Structure 1
Amino acid sequence: MIERRPFGRTGHMSTVTLFGAAALARVSQDEADRALEVLLRHGVNHIDTAARYGDAELRIGPWMARHRKDFFLATKTGNRTAKEAREDLHRSLERLRVDSVDLIQMHSLGHPDDWDTAMGPGGALEALVEARAQKLVRFIGVTGHGWTIPAMHRRSLARFDFDSVLLPYNIFFAQNDRYRQAFEEVLTICRERNVAVQVIKSIARGPWATTERTHATWYQPLEAQADIDRAVH
């Protein structure tokens, strides 16, 4: 079974490998069922999906009807206004076939203009705090991609007491001194405040580009076990 660690201050012991459901965006229900069976077989107990992950929430829904208690369930909204974020969340709950999710996250909040809208009056953050008060969500997080996201996460954590952050880190990112330093600064803040940190793209080899897709993953992954071991340990 896969090791479990505290997911920040949520009280949940999440497996160190979370399931990123973007891989289910364009697959059949049969393919999704086989993937989700692997999670159960290996004890993976944390699913991370999003409203913008194609059909992923629809593929997860039938499983939540039977296995909701087995998973910490997280989704995301990429909308920046309170009205749109509220609509996103309710649609996600319907697609996932659940009454609530454990974690709602602001999706890819990396552009300053998006940040100002989402964090300002009438912004998405207001809707997520409201949803938490209504017990539609238990925790609130923020996610992002790209070179500037550690700095944006520091800004987000200064604005609101988020329960989790999500951002990329791998061999490629680690070779950039500025990114590595900014990433470590975010880690320090999160350790001090017991904020959960989720790392993505750890085994990403690069974009698919013209390469024939052999997996449903968003990026072309490392495949040799030795390479994967070096990337995640």
Structure 2
Amino acid sequence: MIERVPFGRTDFTVPAFGFGAAGLPADDDASAFKVMAHAVEKGINFFDTADLYGIGLNESQIGRFLKTMPAGSVIIGTKYGSMPKGENGLPGVNNKPEHIQAACEASLKRLGVDVIDVYYMHRRDPDVPVEESVGAMARLIEQGKVRALGLSEVSAATLRAAYAVHPIAAVESEYSLWWRGVEDEVLPACRELGVTMVPFSPLGRSFLTGKLSGSSTGSDLRSTLPRFQADALAKNQLLVDQLALFAQGKGFTTAQVALAWLLGQNDATTSVVPIPGTKRTEYLDQNLGALEVKLTPDELDELATIFAPEAIVGDRYSEVEAARAGL
């Protein structure tokens, strides 16, 4: 059975990595249920979703799945705050206390549960003091609707301000060998406060699997991201080629080594719990193989050197996408 690790300073633990549910096929319950059931069978019972994913459809699908499972067998983390459309017609952010209360109640209904295990602020709303937002989230705990609080894609200063209002169990941010921005300030703040780091896109939006080959990424989000543009992607591919050689020498896949590197960032104060997502059981099993990869401190450093921030070409988001994400 998969190892379980502390989750912040809560009274519950989670598996060493969780399951990112955002990419599940909303129109195919049979396929989605198959991979979710397989995850739980393997001990990966920490699911991550958000009210934004499918505009509620992802939560509703998980809710239907939960009806097939024993009560309490799945730990659910979901998020509020990112809006499909803001006042200008573009995706927006809403952290107003009245919205938080309503969003939580809507998520509870879609998920079909009485309590959400981890409730995250999906993005920070600069127009609302974080103290007000976290105060509203804390009231959800008092009401018995939420067990623990989380933040997503926030600065270290925001984390500390939020923690001063109520303990924060986790910060969910993009983190992988290919994007290590959280190491500058956010991860140290998590270590200082005993907050779990939950990396999304731990495989660099599949780039670290070594299967994108440097060709076009099609019409999905990656096609808009600077580091996936042709010239940048070709140069970044050289880093993945080095990762592939390293992985081959260890007898594992590039994806397994990339996940193992993240797991190697755990320490006594902070659990690092990646949430890779997949639609296929075979890929989930491959991800589990990361637990068998044993990396020495020197090997962890070697991989970090290969993927040194200055060696990576292209920003994480375009200016437009960064603005839409509230970053």
TM range (shorter): 0.7 to 0.9
| Alpha-carbon distance in 1 for matches of 2:122, 2:68 | 27
Distance across 2 between alignment mates of 1:200 and 1:76 = 13
Distance 2:135 2:163 in 1: 15
Distance 2:48 2:64 in 1: 16
Q: How many residues align?
A: 212
Structure with greater proportional strand content: 1
Q: Supply the distance in 1 between the matched residues of 2:5 and 2:256 (Cα, whole angstroms).
A: 19
Q: Decide whether aligned partners of structure 1 residues 87 and 184 sit closer, same or farther in structure 2, where only a CA change above 3 A counts.
A: closer
CA contact (8 A) 2:26 2:61 kept: no
> How far apart are the structure 1 equivalents of 2:136 and 2:157?
24
Distance 1:210 1:85 in 2: 39
C-alpha deviations, 1:144-190, integer Å up to 9, x for none? 1xxx745543454455431221112111223x6xx532244223223
- Identify the match of residue 75 of structure 1 among 78, 81, 86: 78
Higher RCO (C-alpha under 8 Å, 6+ residues apart): 2
* Residues 86-118 of structure 1 deviation map (CA, whole Å, 9 limit, x = unaligned): 111111111001111111111122xxxx14505
3-state SS of 1:75 partner:
strand
Q: Specify the alignment match of 1:102 in structure 2.
A: 117
Alignment of structure 1 residues 134-149 onto 2, 5 Å: 134-144=143-153, 149=155
Per the TM alignment, residue 205 of structure 1 is displaced from its structure 2 partner at its CA by 4.1
- Any idea what SS the aligned residue of 1:70 has? coil
**Which residue is equivalent to 2:309?**
none
Contact (CA 8 Å) 1:25, 1:53: kept in 2 or not? no
Partner of 1:15: 15
- Check 1:202–1:89 CA distance in 2 against 1; reply closer, same or farther (3 A cut): same
For 1:91 and 1:205, how far apart are their aligned partners in 2? 29
SS at match of 2:67: helix
* Aligned pair partner of 1:64 in 59, 63, 66: 66
Paired letter, 1:2: I
Cα RMSD (Å) of the superposition? Answer: 3.0
- TM-score (norm. length: structure 1): 0.78
State yes or no: 1:86 paired with 2:101.
yes
Matched, 1:161 2:167: yes
Give the 5 Å matches for 1:92-131: 92-109=107-124, 114-117=125-128, 119-120=130-131, 123-131=132-140
Task: Return 5+ residue gaps in structure 1 as ranges.
Answer: none
Equivalent AA in structure 2 for residue 52 of structure 1: L
- Sort the Cα spacing of 1:50 and 1:150 in 2 relative to 1 into closer, same or farther, 3 A: same
51 and 25 in structure 1: CA distance in 2 versus 1, 3 angstrom threshold? farther
Tell me, which stretches of 5 or more residues in structure 2 are unaligned? 82-93, 229-239, 245-251, 261-327
Q: 1:232 aligns with which of 250, 259, 278?
A: 259
Q: Which has the larger radius of gyration?
A: 2
For residues 62 and 157 of structure 1, the distance between their equivalents in structure 2, rounded to whole angstroms, comes to 34
Partner of 1:189: 192
